[in-house]
A and B are shown apart, each in its own frame.
Chain A
């Protein structure tokens, strides 16, 4: 059996890839995909723990995460379309009406 630390290592690596993508990428759609990657990294942790603990709560949690991620995707894509219609760009550097 593959030890749990391998799964957790993979999950942490994917999570960090997601963070890096979120911070470094400039296209809004790519940033959005990075967030999905982070959520799926979390799902992997949950499933790995659930298998190790012989406890179903972790697997159930994954379903909730997937449902919420789908709801978030629907709202997020709608917001991205609204931004594109008003600004004609998907580059975050050019969405700068409000000063930071």
Chain B
């Protein structure tokens, strides 16, 4: 297969997701006004299964396509499966939420799938134009999803904040791309790598890398670009927070790995060092003060982004592998934690404060147990994925002589234990308040929770399979053939 041709098998998962997203939007008006919207949810879930199958099929045909725009390899397959898996769990946990909150189900499920298209495309794009377009497909879908409860003042406000600051960050990313283009004469990552490897590095490259890092740092909510996170996560619908705190972040980390490691551009190490240290510290200190669980997990996700950034300071191959492993664990535990909140918070998300979770261990054992697994994993207790992921990240950072960064990270993990355990203590040690709800979770929600919990434990107990896959994918990413593309005059 030559790289210079249209090959739909290289974008098959994206095609499948787009088709299902549009089908759902078309199908919604066919349903009666009072009819249940669950069939749309099941259709969306089926769409993610089909896209997952398409990814596995696509993995058999690695290589470039569309004139060096996309590159399918083990790395892109990993992130495709991650994003699609997150979307599937989010859809399962939204089925009852969407009925209760009277949001427009067609747009809701449609945008989850269409947003996932952008995120999948980001992980296989090797050309800055396509990366930009994919980033915006995913961002615009999440702006709308954030504000999908448009009669709700907090929802609209959080969508506004997310939209304004997100577009602001996009402008920085674009300015960085413009500088990179000016310095190297190309927007194609392999080409940029070739130009940079040839000779002296123009100053514009440093400016470009810094500006691109501002734009991408916003999307992964790393400090000092994190101020929007708590507000947006508090006002957005709980299942959507689970979605946008994991899937787009994973995709942006994939883009960062490609841009930073494949171009071999210099000058980003100190940026990442500072941002990682700040994210871990500000995220954990901020979380200590919160009593709203959604806000607390928002600060926790800032800290988690910091831990992932620590991995970037290691040697390229180990860094890639550690980021991939951490991202998978983080996705499993965070999407699971927000699934619990989605179900437990009830109509209009009334029960999201720490005291509302008191006695959950007695009233709702399954929810409490799974939430405990996710929280222990977020702390990094052995036998959970979170422990191994943190261990791996700090180990590779130490190997690269990042002693101080590792010390900051380990100290922060200790601080973090306090606020996660506070929630566990509330669930098991405090009596349930009067009139506590004892609603059993519906079956799709149970499947979603158990799948996330099982993956969290699996990654903590038998990680070797996943680890050898990420190592292999990292090797493929770094030895990707650099091909000179002839661009039109």
Contacts and interface: CB of A to CB of B under 8 A. Distances in A.
Interface of A: 8, 15, 18, 22, 28, 31-32, 35, 38-39, 41-42, 45-46, 49, 52-58, 60-61, 64-65, 68, 71-72, 75-76, 78-80, 82-83, 85-87, 95, 97-100
A86 to B, nearest CB: 4
Interface string B155-172: 011111101100110110
B182 A35 contact: no
Contacts of A61: 128-129, 132, 177-178, 181, 187
Interface string B174-203: 110111011001110000000000000000
Contacts of A57: 129, 181, 186-187, 487
Contacts of A80: 160
Nearest to A37: B171
A35 B151 contact: no
A49 B181 contact: yes
B156 A75 contact: no
A16 B178 CA distance: 15
A17 to B, nearest CB: 12
B285 interface: no
Contact of A75 (B150, B154, B163, B179): B163
A68 B132 contact: yes
Given A55-B487, A57-B181, A82 B150 contact: yes
A75 B166 CA distance: 12
Contacts of B151: 86
A95 B160 CA distance: 9
Given A32-B164, A75-B143, A86 B156 contact: yes
Contact of A42 (B136, B160, B174, B235): B174
B154 A98 contact: yes
Contacts, number: 130
Nearest to A74: B140
B132 A64 contact: yes
In this complex, the member of B133, B164, B179, B489 whose beta carbon has the largest number of chain A beta carbons within 10 angstroms is B164
Contacts of A97: 153-154, 157, 235
B286 to A, nearest CB: 11
Given A72-B136, A79-B147, A83-B160, A60 B153 contact: no
Contact of B178 (A45, A52, A56, A72): A45
A35 B164 contact: yes
Contacts of A68: 132-133, 136
A72 B140 contact: yes
Contacts of A87: 153, 156-157
B178 A42 contact: yes
A29 B407 CA distance: 45
B234 interface: yes
B32 interface: no
B162 to A, nearest CB: 9
A79 B178 contact: no
B227 interface: yes
A46 B234 contact: no
B196 to A, nearest CB: 16
Contact of B164 (A18, A31, A56, A60): A31
Contact of A22 (B168, B186, B230, B231): B168
A29 B488 CA distance: 39
A38 B152 CA distance: 31
**A-B interface, 4 closest residue pairs, ranked by CB to CB distance from nearest:** A38-B171, A86-B153, A49-B182, A45-B178
B175 A56 contact: no
Nearest to A22: B168
B171 A18 contact: yes
Given A82-B147, A82-B150, A98-B154, 17 more contacts: A15-B171, A15-B175, A22-B164, A28-B160, A45-B179, A46-B181, A53-B182, A61-B129, A75-B140, A76-B167, A79-B143, A79-B163, A95-B157, A97-B153, A97-B157, A98-B235, A100-B230
